[in-house]
Amino acid sequence: MKKITIGFMLLFVIASGVKAQDYKKVRNAFTLSKVGAAGAGKLEEAKTELDKISADPKAAENAETYLLKAEILGTIAGDPTLKDKYPNAGREGYQALKKYLELEPTEAKLKADGYAGINSIYGSMFSAGVKNYNEKNWDSAYAQFKDVAELGDLFTSRKWSNSAFDTTSYLYAGVTAQNAKKNEEAAKYYGKLAELKLSGQDYESIYDFLTKYYLNAKDEANFQKYLGLAKETFPKNSLWNDLEFANMSDNLAPDAMLTKFTTADGAKSLTSSNYLDYGDYFINNKKIKDLDAAKKAEYTNKAAYAFSRAYELDTTNALAAYNAGVAAYTAFEDASDAARQIKGVTADIKTRRAAADKGVDAAADKSIQWLEKSYASLSAKTTRTNTEKNVVGKATDLLYNLYAYKRDRSKVLNPKDYDKFDAKSKYYDSMHGKF
C-alpha cells in the first residue's frame, strides 16, 4: 500500500512540471537571506525563483508553492529596505497563507519552518490599516483590518498566539467599517467584542452602536441580546432605558403601554426619567393621536399624571411641571370644545352641559397648578437656558388664558372671585415678552 502511494506522489510531482530542485533554489536563497549583510538581495532572489515556479500552472496544485510565497512575501513585508518596493507583499502573503492552509490544513511544513514571515504579514497589514485610518481613508482601512481580524482569528484558533482573542484588530475593523458606512459589517465586529463584555470606557460606544443599529433594523432578538449585555456591562448608562422604552413604544399598542405604565407605577419602580418618557408617549405618540376623542383624553390625562410624578421625584426639573401643565391645558381645550358641542335647552341637555363644564373647570385648575409651579421656579432664576426662557414665556401666555377663563366663569358661578382672577390674568398678561 505504501509503494502505491509513493508511486502516485512521484507521478504527481513529475506531472506537475515543477521539480524538487526548483523549490530547493528558492529555499536556499531564502535561507541565505537570513544570514549576513546580503539579506535583501537574497530575499529578492528567492522571490524571483518563486515567481518562476509560480508561472507554471501546475504549481497551483502544490502546497509548498503557497507556503514559500507566504513566508517570502511576509518576510519582505517586514523588511524595512524592501517593504516600500513591494507595498502589497503583506496582503499577497496572507492570501498565499490561506491557500496553503487549504491545501495542507495540518500546517506541518509551516510549523517545521518556524512560521517564518507570518508575524510580518500581520504587522505589515496592521500598519497599512493604521496608515489609512489616520488618513481617514475608511474603505481602504476597513479592507486592511478585515484581513487583519481574519488573520488574528487564525492566530488564536490555531494557537499561534497566547491571546484568546484579537481584540484590537476587531475594534479597528468595527470602527473603520462604521466610518465607511458599512454598518452591517461594523455590527459583526462590534458584536464579537460586546460578547466578551469588555467594560473599559473605550468600549461603551460599541454597545451604543449595536443597540441603536438593531433597534433601527427592527431586529428584536439582537436588540434584546445586546441591550442585555449593555445593561450588564455599563449599568449606570441611562441610554439603555431610553432605547428600551423606544423599542417598546415602537412595537406595543397604546393599551399595552398603558398596562405596563400602570403596573410599574403601582410598583413604584419608575424613575423621574421613566415618567417623562411615558408622559411624552401618552401625549405625542401618533397611534394615540389617531384615537377617538374620548380615548385620546384618557391618555392626555395619563400624560399629565406622568409628568407630575416626574416633577415630584425631581423638583429641580421645572420643565416636568411645565409639561404636566401643558398636558392638562390640552385636556382643558379638548373638554372646552366638547362642552361647546352640547347645545339645547332641555333639562337633560342642561345637566350634561353643567357636567361638561365642571370637567373643563377641573382641567383648568390642574393646568394652573402645574404651570404656576413651573413659572415660579423658572422666573426666580437669574440665568436661564434658551429652552427655559421659551418655556417660562409660554407658561405666562397659557396662565393668562386660564385665568381669563376663570374670571369670565366667575361672573356666573361666584362674582366675588372676579377681581381675584382678573388681577391674575392681568399679571400674566404683563409678563408677556419679559423672559
The model's pLDDT over 336-383, given as tens digits with 9 standing for 90+, comes to 999 999 999 899 999 999 999 999 999 999 999 999 999 999 999 999
Q: What are the sequence ranges of the domains in the chain?
A: 1-135
The model's pLDDT over 180-197, given as tens digits with 9 standing for 90+, comes to 999 999 999 999 999 999
Rounded Cα distance between 415 and 409, Å, is: 9
**Full DSSP string of 343-408:** ---SHHHHHHHHHHHHHHHHHHHHHHHHHHHHHHHHHT-SS--HHHHHHHHHHHHHHHHHHHHHHH
The pLDDT score that the predictor gives to residue 344 is: 92
- In whole angstroms, what separates CA 113 from the centre of its chain? 45
pTM, to two decimals: 0.74
- Read off the pLDDT of residues 407-421 as tens digits, 9 standing for 90 and up: 999 998 899 999 999
Of residues 23, 82, 18, the one with CA closest to residue 55: 18
As a whole-number percent, the residues of the chain with pLDDT over 90 amount to: 86
Which of 329, 429, 315, 410 shows the shortest CA–CA distance to 369? Answer: 329
- Angle value at C-alpha 257, between 252 and 259, nearest 5 degrees: 130
Q: What is the pLDDT of residues 39-96, one digit of tens each?
A: 789 999 999 999 999 998 888 899 999 999 999 999 999 999 999 999 999 999 999 9
- pLDDT for the residue numbered 36: 61
Tens of pLDDT, residues 306-340: 999 999 999 999 999 999 999 999 999 999 999 99
